[in-house]
Amino acid sequence: MRKPLALIFEDEPIIVMSIESSLKAAGFAVASEPSCVRARQILALVQPDVVILDVLLRDCVSSSVAEELVARNIPFVIYSATDIEGRGEAFKAGTFVEKPADECVLAALASSLAAHRAPRTLIPWCPLSSWFAHEGLDLFGRAAG
C-alpha cells in the first residue's frame, strides 16, 4: 500500500524539518520546496494527498500555488504567520493554521484532510480519539505502538 504524499511548500528549513518529521511519523511520504516556481512545477508532475503551504515563499506570495491546489482539488493547510486577508481568494479554500503551532497538530490535520480526500481511506464521522485510533495514531498525531 502506498504512503500518502504530503508536500511542504515552506522557505524556512528549520520549520520544514520539524513538519517533515511529524508528517513522516504520521505515515506520509514527504517532499518540500521553498520556491513558488518550483512548487508549481512539482504540482504539474505529482498528485499529492495534502499540501502544507506558507503564504510567503522564497520568490513570491504563494497565491498562484493556492490557485493551482484549488483547481486540482488538492486539500491544503496554510501554515503561516502572515494574514491571508487580501492575498487572494484561493487561500480561503485552505485550512489556516497560524505559526507557530504544534507540528503534531499539523500532522493530524494533514492526515484528516488526506483521508477524506481519497475514497480508499474514507471513514464515517467519529470522535477525534476514535479517528486517531483508526489511523494508528496517538492523540498527538504520532504513530501509536
Number of domains in the chain: 1
The yes-or-no verdict on residue 43 having pLDDT over 50 is: yes
Distance CA 108, CA 52 (A): 12
The answer to whether residue 141 is domain-embedded is: no
pTM over 0.85: no
pLDDT for 123 equals 37
CATH of the domain at 58: 3.40.50.2300
Task: Please check the confidence at residue 37 and state whether its pLDDT lies above 90.
Answer: yes
Per-residue pLDDT, averaged over 55-82, amounts to: 93
* Residue 89 confidence (pLDDT) above 60: yes
Does residue 128 register a pLDDT over 80?
no
Is residue 17 in a domain?
Answer: yes
Distance between CA atoms of residues 5 and 27, nearest Å: 9
Is the pLDDT confidence value at 87 over 80? no
Domain span at 13: 5-134
